[in-house]
Amino acid sequence: LRRRSNRIGLWLIGATGRVGSAVALGLAALRRGGVSRTGLVSDLPPFRGIGLADPGNIVLGGHEIRSETLLEAVQTAHQKAGIFDAALMRRCAPDLRALQRNVRAGTLLGVGPTIRRLSEDRRIPRDASARAAIERLSSDILAFRRRHQLDRVVVIHTASSEPPFPLKAMHKSWSRLEKALSRRAPGVLPASSIYAAAAIEAESAYINFTPSLGASVPAIEERARQRGLPYMGCDGKTGETLVKSVLAPMFAMRNLNVLSWVGQNILGNRDGEVLNDPKTRASKIKTKDRIVARIVGGSPTTRVSIDYVPSLDDWKVAWDFVHFEGFLGTKMSLQFTWAGCDSILAAPLVIDLARFAALAQQRGSVGAMPHLAFFFKDPMHSDTHDLPSQWAALVDWANKTRSDR
Ligand SMILES: NC(=O)c1ccc[n+]([C@@H]2O[C@H](COP(=O)([O-])OP(=O)(O)OC[C@H]3O[C@@H](n4cnc5c(N)ncnc54)[C@H](O)[C@@H]3O)[C@@H](O)[C@H]2O)c1
């Protein structure tokens, strides 16, 4: 008998982090039912009837480098950030224990000293080369797919941010990079790109929810196209940048001249601790800072700062000051304050991305998925940064998908 199903797996890199564990609890809660689906974009009317997998049926697995379990991670978030209902956590505890069995040891190859310090888990294998790591990581994903009889697995990178990684000549084509992968020297690829390559070898769609390099390497994009796979990134647009991408078009449409846009972010979780390292912070600032000039044009003075304030834990506060010029040279200003709970904003988007990417893969989509630009601060191969246009592109894609069914 042929199985009539659309069983998808979601493989998270950084599975037991704040975002990863919130996704795990969210999926368990959706499976058990009786919880609100607020925050899930894919649940909105324009996306009904297009063939998205039911989020309650998504099976979770992933790679991690710390020994904290999914259940411990949600309990920590509950204690420190005051999020998640205690009764819901109790109800979902058996599911989180079961999902924990799908979490495998990640790689420390290509991580910098900041991330290496996070990993107190002595059981993490030492991979001899990027090729060895890619083989081990991709076989974990393939084994997960077989064990759970999944039709497809989407890999989403939600691991700690990495410092910028300069590309060299060997990163330009897959044939050149492939030769370099066997070198025993570190520095061929950052960990995020090793994971992207592993996802591709495991025939999975790949999404980069972080500002790390991931699949943004010409050789890796070439490999994904060779293997007929879709991918997208970078860096989930969940808070301050989301608001910017709605407000900046307003200034442009009213022909108001944005002179400066200065944003100060403070956050206190592990992501904030990792971003406290100036090199790592540079990757994040790059994806957060570009958007205003790209939407309003010209060369406004823009600045983004990020400070680590441990007591805030998962609650990120962003304060933005916009200085702009109106008719006859009159200067005015706008200020806003955003106080968001980072993992609560990010988790439903990760579930959305798993559903959209699995459907795109099922429909034979290959290469970057610009219709998913809506979800990212720095969308790959897309010049569309304003939220309303990104939304229109996503809805268009959904309408085409529906009419092709
Ligand atoms: N929360 C948001 O709103 C949001 C928005 C956009 C992007 N992001 C990005 O998502 C990522 C996760 O955020 P978070 O708050 O969950 O951070 P976190 O520190 O709680 O989680 C990251 C997890 O990745 C793990 N990890 C680090 N290196 C790894 C490796 N080489 N292999 C496997 N696992 C590894 C860590 O052990 C940790 O558990 C960050 O890069 C963050 O910048 C978050």
Beta-bridge partners for 258: 324
CB distance 345 to ligand 1 below 6 Å? yes
User: E strands along 1-132, which residues?
Assistant: 8-13, 59-64, 103-105
Cα gap 279→265, rounded to integer Å: 17
CB distance 158 to ligand 1 below 6 Å? yes
Select the more confidently predicted residue: 311 or 283: 311
Per-residue pLDDT at 1: 43
232-257 in b/e form (b: 16+ CB < 10 A) is bbbbbbbbbbbbbbebbbebeeeebb
Q: Are 163 and 277 in contact (CB under 8 A)?
A: yes
The pLDDT tens digits for 392-404 are 999 999 999 998 8
Question: Which residue's CA lies nearest to atom 33 of ligand 1?
Answer: 64
> Is the per-residue pLDDT at 7 higher than 50?
yes
The pLDDT tens digits for 133-159 are 999 999 999 999 999 999 999 999 999
Instruction: Tell me which of 35-49, 153-167, 257-271, 284-298 is least confident.
Output: 284-298
Full-prediction pTM beyond 0.85? yes
Nearby residues of 110 by Cβ (< 8 Å), 6 or more positions away: 130, 133, 186, 187, 188, 189, 190, 191, 192, 193, 194
> Is the per-residue pLDDT at 113 higher than 90?
no
What is the CA(311)–ligand 1 centre distance, in A?
19
The pLDDT tens digits for 296-352 are 998 999 999 999 999 999 999 999 999 999 999 999 999 999 999 999 999 999 999
Per-residue pLDDT at 282: 82
Residue 283 — pLDDT band, cuts 50, 70, 90? confident
DSSP, collapsed to helix, strand or coil, labels residue 104 as strand
CB distance 342 to ligand 1 below 6 Å? yes
Per-residue pLDDT at 5: 67
Cα gap 152→255, rounded to integer Å: 47
CB distance 287 to ligand 1 below 6 Å? no
Percent of the chain with pLDDT over 70: 99
Residue 290 — pLDDT band, cuts 50, 70, 90? confident
Instruction: Tell me which of 76-85, 179-188, 256-265, 377-386 is least confident.
Output: 179-188
Nearby residues of 222 by Cβ (< 8 Å), 6 or more positions away: 173, 174
Question: Which residue's CA lies nearest to atom 9 of ligand 1?
Answer: 210
> Is the per-residue pLDDT at 43 higher than 70?
yes
Per-residue pLDDT at 2: 46
> Is the per-residue pLDDT at 120 higher than 50?
yes
CB distance 270 to ligand 1 below 6 Å? yes
> Is the per-residue pLDDT at 67 higher than 50?
yes
Which ligand 1 atom sits closest to the C-alpha of 119?
37
> Is the per-residue pLDDT at 201 higher than 60?
yes
Residue 30 — pLDDT band, cuts 50, 70, 90? very high
Per-residue pLDDT at 33: 92
Nearby residues of 390 by Cβ (< 8 Å), 6 or more positions away: 245, 373, 374, 379, 384
Question: Which residue's CA lies nearest to atom 17 of ligand 1?
Answer: 271
What is the CA(270)–ligand 1 centre distance, in A?
8
Select the more confidently predicted residue: 191 or 284: 191
CB distance 109 to ligand 1 below 6 Å? no
CB distance 17 to ligand 1 below 6 Å? yes
Pocket residue to mutate for ligand 1, from 19, 127, 241, 273, most atoms within 8 A of Cβ: 19
> Is the per-residue pLDDT at 234 higher than 70?
yes
The two structure tokens encoding residue 343: 């993992």
CB distance 192 to ligand 1 below 6 Å? no
